[in-house]
Amino acid sequence: MTDLLTRTIAAITPLDADAMRAAEARQLQLTKPPKALGRLETLSIQLAGIQGKAQPVIESKAIAVMAADHGVTAEGVSAFPAEVTPGMVFNFAAGGAAINVIGRHVGARVLVTDVGVNADLSAAEGVRQKKVRMGTANMAQEPAMTREQAVRAIEIGIELVEEELGKGLDIIATGEMGIGNTTAASAVIAALTGEPAATVTGRGTGISAAALPAKVAVIEKALAVNQPDAADAIDVLAKVGGLEIAAMTGVFLGGAAHRIPVVMDGFISAAAALAAVRLCHECVDYILPSHVSIEIGHQVVLDELGLVPLFDLQMRLGEGTGAALSMSIIEAAARILSEMATFESAGVAGDPSDADAELTR
């Protein structure tokens, strides 16, 4: 591993227990029955532990959208051609995609990075030009990329977090664009969990039910050809992953190293989160799951990481849309903890410690 990756992993430490205890104590003093706000309360306590503040702040928000192409599209695994990837990046740059709309809605800046799109995107205004290579190779025939390229893509995600710290960053969401990336994500998840490819592979962009077995077969072939090492997440990313998946892995690691909560989006983001946790287990406490995708493999990762999503809106777009949407809920959890009156400050009679024991269960 490089100095940057090694340093980043070494900087990831457990959540701040003192901040969490202080946040929990304050929750018990707020003008409501204990635990009446359910997961908003536990979420606020987790945020306190992540930021190391008894009253965490969620104001400055960013969405990291990583874009790259996949050579495996040559196997016919997607309902859309690879040319859609650069077209959508230009759409992101113009502010016309779903992630731009939701980003504006929640007050988050959308940061688009070309990690490996198989096209010249130098004319895409505002896009971070960080291309590692012109898309991955066809993983059904050979490794998707070299180990060095996978590490460089991870570094790009870490660097993005560190660049944004200077602009103010309280939370960051992961998003992606890359035709063929559900195939790569399924392969990564199958390799890291040992689950059969069929168990973690869905219809992605909307291939027909009849085409799904062929997609599964392509993933099985890629795993057989490349023999990724389940104990080595970088090897898995290099052999059957994607450049944007590796870059999101870096965002998860970089956020955790700098005590920034990182919001996991859907299926592709989940593959990156799993890789990040395999590289550093403590990273899992800094990951906030947003929603559950209708892609079947997403729930496998959530179960593997012990994470429960905030909502299920039957989404499968990617781009970071679910993660961005959840920022409103996450911000609300932090604001309740810091802005809600206590019984003492509001002059409301009642001692929370006397509340019905049923409410505290």
37 and 67 fall within a common domain: no
240 to 141, 142, 237, 273, 307: CA distances (angstroms): 10, 9, 6, 16, 24
* Residues forming beta bridges with residue 287, ordered by sequence position: 262
pLDDT digits (tens, 9 = 90+) for 304-327: 999 999 999 999 999 999 999 999
CA angle 121, 126, 128 (to 5 degrees): 65
> Looking at the structure, do residues 206 and 187 belong to the same domain, yes or no?
yes
User: Within the chain, what is the greatest distance between any pair of CA atoms?
Assistant: 71
Answer yes or no: do 186 and 283 share one domain.
Answer: yes
User: pLDDT digits over 267-301, tens only?
Assistant: 999 999 999 999 999 999 999 999 999 999 999 99
Tell me the C-alpha distance between 249 and 269, whole Å: 8
pLDDT given for residue 353 in this prediction: 53
List CB contacts of 19: < 8 A, sequence separation 6 or more: 48, 49, 51, 52, 53, 54
- Clarify whether residues 72 and 41 are in a common domain: no
* Residue 360 confidence class, pLDDT cut points 50, 70, 90: very low
Q: Which residues pair with 110 in a beta bridge?
A: 63
Q: What's residue 271's pLDDT?
A: 98
The CATH number of residue 272's host domain is 3.40.50.10210
For residues 13 and 71, state if they share a domain: no
152 and 31 co-located in one domain: no
Q: Which two tokens stand for residue 199?
A: 């168990």
What three-state secondary structure class fits 232? coil
Average pLDDT over residues 20-43: 97
The answer on 20 and 135 residing in a single domain is: no
357 has a pLDDT exceeding 60: no
Q: What is the pLDDT of residue 206?
A: 80
What pLDDT is recorded for position 361? 43
* Catalytic residue list: 319
Q: What is the pLDDT of residues 221-239, one digit of tens each?
A: 999 999 999 999 999 999 9
Both 86 and 111 in a single domain?
yes
Whole-prediction pTM value?
A: 0.95
120 and 37 co-located in one domain: no
Q: What average pLDDT does range 163-188 have in this prediction? A: 97
**Coil, strand or helix: which one is 33?**
coil
Q: Residue 207's pLDDT band (boundaries 50, 70, 90)?
A: confident
What 8-state DSSP symbol labels residue 14?
Answer: -
pLDDT number for residue 210: 86
* Domain total in the chain: 2
Percentage of residues of the chain with pLDDT beyond 90: 92
pLDDT of residue 352 exceeding 60: no
Q: What is the DSSP letter of 30?
A: B
CA distance 57 to 77: 42
Q: Distance between CA atoms of 140 and 268, rounded to whole angstroms?
A: 19
- Cα 332 to chain center, whole Å? 20
Nearest to 287 by CA among 297, 299, 302, 298: 302
For residue 12, the cross-strand partners are: none
For residues 195-222, average pLDDT = 93
Q: Mark whether 73 and 181 lie in a shared domain.
A: yes
Above 60 in pLDDT, residue 355? no
Backbone angles phi, psi at 161, to 5 degrees: -60, -45
Tell me the average pLDDT across 6-30: 98
* 74 and 118 housed in the same domain: yes
Reported as type and span, the H/E element at residue 63 is strand 61-68
Percentage of the chain modeled with pLDDT above 70? 97
The pLDDT value recorded for residue 110 is 98
Question: Which residues constitute the domain of residue 21?
Answer: 3-56+336-360
Tokens 């392969």 identify what position? 187
Instruction: Express each pLDDT in 76-92 by its tens digit.
Output: 999 999 999 999 999 99
- DSSP code at position 73: G
CB contact at 8 A, 19 and 329: no
Q: How many CB atoms lie within 10 A of CB 207?
A: 18
Give the domain CATH number at 343.
Answer: 1.10.1610.10
User: For 77, how many CA atoms within 13 A lie in the half-sphere containing its CB?
Assistant: 31
175 pLDDT more than 90: yes
Helix, strand and coil in the chain, % to nearest 5: 50, 10, 40
- Tell me the mean pLDDT in the region 85-108: 98
Structure tokens of 282? 């403590």
Average pLDDT over every residue of 238-261: 98
Q: Are residues 48 and 110 in the same domain?
A: no
